[in-house]
Structure 1
Amino acid sequence: MVVCGDDGLAHRLAAELRTVYNEQVTLVVPPNVRTARPPVVGRARAASAALLDRVVSATVGRGNGNGGNGANAGNGGTGPVPGEGPRGERVLEAVEATEAVLAEAGVERAAALALVYDDDETNIRAALTARRLNPRLRLVLRLYNRRLGQHIEELLDQAATLAIGDPDGGGGDASTTVLSDADTAAPALAATALAGNGKLIQTDGLVLRALELPPGAGARQDDGQELFPLALLSPNNAGLDPAEGGGEEQGPRLLPDDAAVRAAGERGVLALEQVSSSAGPAAPGGRGVGVVPPLASLFSRRLRWSLAGLVACVVALAVALSVVTGIHPVRAFYYTLLDLLAIDDPALKESLGRQLLQLLSALVGLLLLPVLLAAVLEALGTFRTASALRKPPRGLGGHVVLLGLGKIGTRVLTRLRELHVPVVCVESDPEARGLAVARRLRVPVVLGDVTQEGVLEAAKIHRAQALLAVTSADTTNLEAVLYARSVRPDLKAVLRLYDDDFATAVYRTLRAAHPQAVTRSRSVSYLAAPSFAGAMLGRQILGAIPVERKVLLVAVVEVGGHPQLEGRTVEGAFRAGAWRVLALEGRQGVVAGEYVLRGGDRVVVAATRRGLAELSGRVPPTHPPDSLS
């Protein structure tokens, strides 16, 4: 496997392939350590931790300061420089994935190549080169532009088919998969920030949602619908990891059996429920969403009340004129309008009542002119500012404050609006890519540096239900959460943190300082890496479900060739702590536990990283197939 990238996702993906799937990996990274910082991965595994410690110690001893990848950072990045990495990993330093660099990395002999540079154009250029070098190569690209990704996927697949000479388009494993770390991580980040809204998993004919149930809720809902237990949460939702000294009993337990669920005690349960049998995506909506503003928003409330008062005066004058003169009400209303607009003859020969009513109508007409002028000016101003950023309205509460409108923040904003969640965004860059989306969705935005006093107050943080800090700067996210907690100690906070050690320290401290509040730290690369690794192995990963500091994968697996699944019932194929069969792909509704899995079936499974690796045959099974329950 070859992985090329310039940020933490490349290192995380390489570690995923190496430690979970036992793959030989060649990692191509730029020589600038500031753009390619390898995160600490697999801290819970003693062997991997010891190996990483030895690598870091050796790196410090050499004094090259390159983050432990073993490559020579002092060459200036003029060409590929091989280096030493963890066992099973070869590191090359190069500024770009040119043809020479890809050839040096062994793309011509590789089974799969992942291009996870932060720039779409760089990934596309390298993919075209790699497809020419090896038409049978399985390609995985990281692209933010969805529409462009679809076209590139079709183009590269067609190029592979023509190069291989297979008119039927078979091409073996020469597939192209375009993924986005933003699309993968955004649903999990949005679901973490909300209470009662779980992550949606969509497959052909089935929509499932992960829900966090309180202790003692059981495995059934009030309507009798059965739920799939995915994990037992830490006691009192503490979120302890085994590596933190709490042991396996204190940390979350993934894919427990029925006995463990019944004996959960004070543990909460993360379960999966069937939402519907239609896999259509949720349509964005909600009040105020769209390009054309609603009619009521064209005029202020004070102006609307003024117009309503004037209309009431006109009606009252028309009724009075009909009563005084005895004319028909319609004609009386017509005369009143003429008097109001001062285009009728004066009532010199009429009765005193008629003359007084004409004077009152003229007075109301004088009052109507400034009101009409104000209405026109306000309507023009509203249309002129319809494309401008909105400010948080007065009295807003129960919303989510979203900090950062970059790649991740934009996807999170779109997801929150699809769930009809009120959002207030905070962004310091007036040229951020997400401002156009916020303007289109008519979401209030506060422009300013969150580290300055008064910015979070302008976003109504004291009445918000959650703060979602997803900027690219760890210190900015941390400072925002700390300041928000000083205003609202019980505020739910979700941080996007890059470094694992820093995230663990922040998580422990915030949890200890504010035990009554919910704190979550999420890494985009940690959430996205399983999907990229599964695509490199030819697996269809539907999503990643975060469980405190762990993650569960939902994937599509072919039953044929897997003795752990083939010929067994759905209930019998379940393996506690490893995998659980959820449904048959293409079948409406969940699959019954007595159904016998056949070789031609494709099943949707929830699995741990290790469990999916065992199903893929990449690692030896922990227990022989005959010992499965």
Structure 2
Amino acid sequence: MALLPQPARSVARPGHMIVCGDDALAERLAAELASVYRERVTLVVPGASRSAPTASASALFGRVQAAMRRGGGNAVGPRVLQTPVLDEAALVQAGVQEAAALALVHDDDETNIHAALAARRLNPRLRLVIRLYNRKLGQHLEELLDQAAMLAVPGLDPHALDTSTTVLSDADTAAPALAATAVAGTSKVVQADGLLLRAVERSPAGPGQIPDPGLCTLALLSSTTNDPAGTEGSDTSGREGPTLLPDDDAVAAAAGRGTVVLETVVHTGSAPPPRRLAGRGFPLGSLFSRRLRWSLAGLVACVLGLAVVSRVTTGDHPLHAGYVVLLDLFAINDPALGETPARQVLQLLSALAGFLLLPVLFAAVLEALGTFRTASVLRRPPRGLSGHVVLLGLGKVGTRVLARLDELGIPVVCVEEDPEARGIPLARRLRIPVVVGDVTQEGVLESAAVDRAHALLALTSNDTTNLEAVLYARSVKPELRVALRLYDDDFAAAVYRTLRAAYPRALTRSRSVSTLSAPAFAGAMMGRQILGAIPVERRVLLFAALNVAGHPQLEGRTIAEAFRPGAWRVLALDTAEPDHRTPDLAATPSHDGRERPAGLVWDLHPGYVLRGEDRVVLAATRQGLAELLGRRPLPTVRPPGPASGGQGH
């Protein structure tokens, strides 16, 4: 086992990267920075002592080294510093005053916030990347820390702070890909200047068919796509894995292989605004059933009819006639002794209507109470539901995926063991059916109508639970599309091979959160604007906005000359003036209340020469983007091994 570096003899050099955390995201991020970007990394982990490494710290260091080996790199491993408390003294010992970037990826938001405030005081120029689940708090924290940096360094250019503080959520980063995995017709999506880009997987073209290349071909899928013994579903395809960013010759020569092409999703208009008067009337439809409303309407018509007959037979004023009928209806009027036969008959009919009214009123009260009660409890799956997605787990990741599926208008049934889970309030607010129970118990998945479901998303943090749920669901419905969250790459590959061999006609995918989100965290630490990441099998393509100035691989070259197959490809050009450009192309253009016309041009002429003042959107592999924007050139990247690009939770 690799020895844990001793912090007392390891001194951080200026410009290094610091990662603070102890979970899968921290280890993946440290390995990403060290192996892909060749950065000097200091990994700060919690522990009981700063001098004596614990078994957990040694195990974490070993996992980081293993992740680096899977990445196919020969970089020096990270310096590991163990500290009982992530305080100002620990940050100083880690070298935060000379560091280029600091990532705070603890699972506890409060720990990350306290450390970020301390780090900003110690180094105002430090690039901060903070992991927070609370979106609003993250936005306010970004503004606060950037303002603190400008006040601490007089004369500092505000434009230099565009990426000085970046708040990310691993759940938000991975949710679109996880949701797209289980849904037919939806694809991996990233946003650029308000425009949605969709990566679509396409089957090999048949004889005589001309494939539509879309904007461009992003990847050639694994040659084992239709081989039950292959591993493309677990993204550990080995030598026959996907080919990212191929050139035209490679695409033409890859007959029989599926492709991933990039398309734009054109907005046809926003959703119609809600009616102004909607919801202002009495909510009869939500309080009372249709049968009860018809019963009430019939009784009201009966009372009105009796009032009209009373007016005609007695000659009373209409209001007095109606008043007398109501008195008779509620049996509080004097008996009509000595009255005309017509009056006596009307009184008897009114009393009969009153007897009929009592059970209707009682039923109305019970239904109203039941409606108010069920508004605060979880909804059960409706009878006859089919074609839905069964979502297992409503933790941080499951909650974000649920919100994403609801935005797409996809019917969902959730299964959660903990009635106090984080996503339960969201499911209640969205009126999403939830089955509360242990998925490993018999009958729980049946309650979610898994036999009529379109797909199953198993997103708990327990690999065994996810696998058990998938196996049971497949026994109920063999052709069910499943996507399960797995951390260990070898385990994921073995699971995929077994499921693919047992159910060759059913789609199986293994995905995880830390590997889907680690490239975005690493990209933010490198100081560039990452628009999103799209998984291709178990590898990742990054989309980034980049200023051409200072990059000889782009500046002064044509679009065709700037394209490097397997590394990066320019997709779009930002035509907006530099002073009017949106700082964050991944955000909605009107996020600050001002409408901006989209300035990206996607249909670029191959002969256009890139200038220093241009900003481009490009797709790149992790190694390619590291070479393009790294501080030093990378050696030739070896073909990925069997476990390349593994993912964790």
Stretch of structure 1 that moved more, 459-468 or 255-264 = 255-264
Query: Structure 1 553/253 Cα, relative in aligned 2: closer, same or farther at 3 Å?
Result: same
Mapping 1:210-249, distance limit 5 Å: 210-216=199-205, 220=212, 226-235=214-223, 236=225, 240=231, 248=239
What CA deviation, in whole Å up to 9, does each residue of 1:398-434 have, x standing for no partner? 1111111111111111111111111111111222121
Residue 143 of structure 1 corresponds to 132
1:606 paired residue among 605, 619, 623: 619
CA distance in 2: counterparts of 1:622 and 1:371, whole angstroms: 81
| Matched position secondary structure for 1:557 | strand
| Matched position secondary structure for 1:561 | coil
Q: CA deviation at 1:209?
A: 2.0
CA distance in 2: counterparts of 1:338 and 1:134, whole angstroms: 83
Q: CA deviation at 1:97?
A: 2.5
What CA deviation, in whole Å up to 9, does each residue of 1:514-559 have, x standing for no partner? 1111111112110011001111110111111111111111111111
Q: CA deviation at 1:172?
A: 7.2
CA distance in 1: counterparts of 2:622 and 2:525, whole angstroms: 14
What CA deviation, in whole Å up to 9, does each residue of 1:264-301 have, x standing for no partner? 54433322221136999x9999xxxx9x997534334x
Stretch of structure 1 that moved more, 123-132 or 232-241 = 232-241
The answer to whether the 8 Å contact 2:310/2:346 transfers is no
The number of residues matched between the two structures is: 570
Taking CA–CA contacts closer than 8 Å with sequence separation of 6 or more, which of the two structures ends up with the larger relative contact order? 2
Query: Structure 1 339/596 Cα, relative in aligned 2: closer, same or farther at 3 Å?
Result: farther
User: TM-score by structure 1 length?
Assistant: 0.80
The answer to whether the 8 Å contact 1:317/1:357 transfers is no
| Matched position secondary structure for 1:210 | strand
2:602 paired residue among 591, 610, 618: 591
Q: CA deviation at 1:244?
A: 9.3
Residue 18 of structure 1 corresponds to 34
CA distance in 1: counterparts of 2:196 and 2:535, whole angstroms: 18
Query: Structure 1 348/612 Cα, relative in aligned 2: closer, same or farther at 3 Å?
Result: farther
Ranges in structure 2 where 5+ consecutive residues have no aligned partner: 1-16, 48-53, 577-597, 638-649
Query: Structure 1 598/203 Cα, relative in aligned 2: closer, same or farther at 3 Å?
Result: same
Q: CA deviation at 1:229?
A: 2.1
Residue 184 of structure 1 corresponds to 173
CA distance in 2: counterparts of 1:293 and 1:462, whole angstroms: 39
What CA deviation, in whole Å up to 9, does each residue of 1:83-127 have, x standing for no partner? xxx724222222332333322222222211111111111111222
| Matched position secondary structure for 1:446 | strand
CA distance in 2: counterparts of 1:34 and 1:475, whole angstroms: 22
Name the % identity.
64
Stretch of structure 1 that moved more, 209-218 or 473-482 = 209-218
Stretch of structure 1 that moved more, 90-99 or 258-267 = 258-267
What CA deviation, in whole Å up to 9, does each residue of 1:205-232 have, x standing for no partner? 42222223333285549xxxx4432222
Q: CA deviation at 1:435?
A: 1.2
RMSD of Structure 2 on Structure 1 (CA): 3.7
The reply on whether 1:504 has 2:530 as its aligned counterpart is no
The answer to whether the 8 Å contact 1:403/1:469 transfers is yes
The answer to whether the 8 Å contact 1:390/1:439 transfers is yes
2:382 paired residue among 381, 393, 417: 393
Query: Structure 1 313/22 Cα, relative in aligned 2: closer, same or farther at 3 Å?
Result: same
The reply on whether 1:469 has 2:458 as its aligned counterpart is yes
| Matched position secondary structure for 1:560 | coil
2:293 paired residue among 307, 314, 326: 307
Query: Structure 1 240/572 Cα, relative in aligned 2: closer, same or farther at 3 Å?
Result: farther
What CA deviation, in whole Å up to 9, does each residue of 1:426-476 have, x standing for no partner? 111222121111122121111111111111111111111111111111111
CA distance in 2: counterparts of 1:407 and 1:431, whole angstroms: 13
CA distance in 1: counterparts of 2:69 and 2:286, whole angstroms: 53
The answer to whether the 8 Å contact 2:195/2:264 transfers is yes
Residue 552 of structure 1 corresponds to 541
What CA deviation, in whole Å up to 9, does each residue of 1:578-618 have, x standing for no partner? 22222224544542231432211111111111111122144
CA distance in 1: counterparts of 2:194 and 2:375, whole angstroms: 39
Residue 204 of structure 1 corresponds to 193
Q: CA deviation at 1:336?
A: 7.9
Residue 62 of structure 1 corresponds to none
Ranges in structure 1 where 5+ consecutive residues have no aligned partner: 52-85, 624-629
The answer to whether the 8 Å contact 1:160/1:171 transfers is no
Stretch of structure 1 that moved more, 162-171 or 573-582 = 162-171
What CA deviation, in whole Å up to 9, does each residue of 1:351-377 have, x standing for no partner? 78x977875664344223212221122
The answer to whether the 8 Å contact 1:218/1:262 transfers is no
Residue 619 of structure 1 corresponds to 633
1:115 paired residue among 74, 89, 104: 104
| Matched position secondary structure for 1:41 | helix
The answer to whether the 8 Å contact 2:306/2:325 transfers is no
Query: Structure 1 253/153 Cα, relative in aligned 2: closer, same or farther at 3 Å?
Result: same
1:164 paired residue among 153, 156, 173: 153
Residue 58 of structure 1 corresponds to none
Q: CA deviation at 1:21?
A: 0.9
Residue 67 of structure 2 corresponds to 41
